[in-house]
Amino acid sequence: MNGVLIIDKSKDITSRDVVNTVVKKFNTKKVGHTGTLDPIATGVLVVCVGSATKLVDELTCNDKEYIASVELGTLTDTLDNTGKTLKEEECIKTKEEIIEVLNSFKGKYLQEVPIYSAVKINGKKLYEYARENIEIELPKREVEITDIELIRDIEYHNNKTLFKFKCSVSKGTYIRSLIRDIAMKLNTIGIMTDLRRTRQGKFKIEDSVNLDNISENNLINIIDILDYKKIELTSNVEKKVLNGAVIDNIYSSDEVLFIRNNEAIALYKKYEKDDKKLKPYKMFKGGR
């Protein structure tokens, strides 16, 4: 049983919970997800099953799209509404102010990783430092915001400003941190109150399925996931490919997916030592 599931993760469960459910449902231990969603978040969680688990790293590299809800005027230790409140203040911002700041985030910038995250420093996860009240310098990473826009009129409640935005971002972007940075640029504080991932790479929320309803029919064939030149495995190279050998590149492409009987066998890419040859990159059947 091999393929990819597009799960619409519900709130208040972890990405690991989703994996555990798929393990039990399909009676296989070869299951992995391609990008953690916090318990507060819902939406697209791409889960690989069987030999498709070899694609986890590749699929994790895709860009993502989110819809996020924001409350300006509140700050918590987790940067969302599940944490301990650290500070509150009156905050009334106009639609024009918010749009101007949102637009200013398009492009690349250095983003500080939130303390409540699983990023490791000296072999220890950041949230473990937070729980032990140990101060540590938070790492910064370059992220890219390719698109960001306000998607509904702002609201005011208890002297706080509430709004919702949609964004497309690179791998490794923390939306909680983005909201913190947006608030800082607005000269205030802010938290995330809701988050929904609507796309990861080519996988869209409209193509997802609820975890309670998953079945083998929901598995997407590896062949339909990979956008590489597809070559039917023939007898003249079958033995070499199945054994993971370097082969001559006679296919006019630097990336080739060998298939047989509508099943992925091996993904080959250009051999860096000889550009006239291809070497195995991912083996789904046979050798390595």
Q: Do domains 3-62+201-223 and 226-283 have the same CATH topology?
A: no
Pick the closest to residue 194 from 100, 82, 283 (CA basis).
82
Over residues 182-206, the pLDDT tens digits come to 999 999 999 999 999 999 999 999 9
Mean pLDDT of all residues in 220-248: 92
Torsion of CA 70, 73, 75, 78, to 10 degrees: -10
pLDDT level of residue 105 (50, 70, 90 thresholds): very high
pLDDT for 287 = 47
Over residues 146-168, the pLDDT tens digits come to 999 999 899 999 999 999 999 99
In terms of CATH architecture, what is 3-62+201-223?
2-Layer Sandwich (3.30)
Over residues 63-72, the pLDDT tens digits come to 999 999 999 9
**Beta pairing class for 160-169 and 64-72:** antiparallel
Model confidence at 95: pLDDT above 80: yes
Residue found under tokens 């310098």: 137
- Among the residue ranges 88-97, 131-140, 272-281, the one predicted with the least confidence is 131-140
pLDDT for 5 = 96
- Fold entry, domain 64-200: Pseudouridine synthase (3.30.2350)
Mean pLDDT of the chain: 93
The larger pLDDT score, comparing residue 19 to residue 129, is at 19
Tokens of 210: 């609820």
- Among the residue ranges 61-65, 105-109, 116-120, the one predicted with the least confidence is 116-120
User: Which sequence spans correspond to the domains of the chain?
Assistant: 3-62+201-223, 64-200, 226-283
pLDDT level of residue 126 (50, 70, 90 thresholds): confident
Mean pLDDT of all residues in 212-220: 93
pLDDT level of residue 40 (50, 70, 90 thresholds): very high
Q: Which residues are catalytic?
A: 38
226-283 belongs to which CATH class? mainly beta
Query: Are 105 and 182 spatial neighbours (Cβ–Cβ below 8 Å)?
Result: yes
The residues pairing with 256 across neighbouring beta strands, listed in sequence order, are 229, 268
The larger pLDDT score, comparing residue 7 to residue 287, is at 7
Over residues 173-187, the pLDDT tens digits come to 999 999 999 999 999
pLDDT for 94 = 97
Distance of CA 94 to the CA centre of its chain: 32
Highest mean pLDDT of the ranges 14-18, 49-53, 96-100: 96-100
